[in-house]
Amino acid sequence: MLTSLLRAVAILGCALLLVGCSDTSSPTGPEDPTDDPTDPGDDGSTVQFDSEAPPGDSARSFLDDRRFAVVRLEVDYMEGYEPTAEALDSLRTTLDTYLNKSSIQISNPTQIPAEGEGPYSSDQIRGLEDEHRDHYTRAESDTVHAHFLILDGKYTTENVVGIAYYNTSMAFFGKTIDEISGGLNQPSQKKVEATVFRHEFGHNLGLVNNGIPPQQESHHDEENGAHCTNEQCVMYYAIETTDFFSNVFDGTIPTFEQFCTEDMAAQDGE
């Protein structure tokens, strides 16, 4: 009798011990180590959208309305390099044409301190974004956030006007833009900006073969990366360099040509 009682007590103790050591993690599974756990510019709640993925990885989040209905662009610029309102308006119109969204919003540009440095490396640019970016995409929100950073210097790769370096992040080199615009026989600042803003955002829309599959393989310029073979298309490779504006640009802001628009439309873009 005593032996049976002791055995019952032992079994009960083991059961209680197992309950006390059960998994208390979220039912949605372990946290993705690539996610930024908090939005440094907001209230510290959990972020479930990776804003540090490669360019083009979130193309569908921009193009269709299945997950996000709104695109909001935050613009930070270093002192002395404010972008023109006309270039930002041109970008908004372009995005409104091709993205299946209820609203395209661009915040008033925010001035940040000039670094007085340069040329800037990709790592330095990422660090500056960490310091100054305020808004990040949250899975529970209806808004996908993007970020422009306009710098007071050049890029470490010579003659580059802009880069897309994360899936929602793009940087532009104000000193380089100044050197190729506004002078005698040079295009205006607003036209240079409008062109490179479209081009770099295009990379984060998955162009070309950079997150969304091309409908026509022949228009992917594989020799020059994620670019279009059509010299009239805004995704032509030379557009992100100073050579284009010095030697080719005729004053007409290029747009997305047929094959690129077909690529976007196939992903539920308009």
Find the CATH number of the domain harbouring 87: 3.40.390.10
Burial label, 62 (beta-carbon count in 10 A; 0-12, 13-18, 19+): buried
> Which residue type occupies 12?
L
**Is residue 82 domain-resident?**
yes
> Cα–Cα–Cα angle for 190, 223, 209, nearest 5°?
70
Model confidence over 12-40: pLDDT tens digits?
343 333 333 323 222 222 223 333 434 44
**Is residue 185 domain-resident?**
yes
**Is residue 91 domain-resident?**
yes
Q: How many domains does the chain have?
A: 1
pLDDT at 48: 75
CA distance linking residue 12 with residue 264, whole number of Å = 62
Comparing CA positions, the residue from 56, 65, 57, 96 lying closest to residue 208 is 56
**Is residue 62 domain-resident?**
yes
Domain membership of residue 222 as a residue range: 49-265
Provide the pairing of β-strand 70-78 with 169-173. Answer: unpaired
Name 173's Cβ contacts closer than 8 Å, sequence gap at least 6.
Answer: 118, 120, 151, 153, 154, 155, 160, 161, 162
Comparing CA positions, the residue from 109, 104, 103 lying closest to residue 85 is 109
**Is residue 163 domain-resident?**
yes
Model confidence over 141-174: pLDDT tens digits?
999 999 999 999 999 999 999 999 999 999 999 9
pLDDT at 29: 27
Tokens of 131: 């310091």
**Is residue 14 domain-resident?**
no
Q: Is the pTM of this model over 0.85?
A: no
Model confidence over 217-259: pLDDT tens digits?
999 999 999 999 999 999 999 999 999 999 999 999 999 999 9
CA distance linking residue 69 with residue 62, whole number of Å = 9
**Is residue 111 domain-resident?**
yes
pLDDT at 46: 52
**Is residue 42 domain-resident?**
no
Model confidence over 95-108: pLDDT tens digits?
999 999 999 999 99
Instruction: Please determine, for residue 2, whether its predicted confidence score (pLDDT) is greater than 70.
Output: no
CA distance linking residue 37 with residue 226, whole number of Å = 30
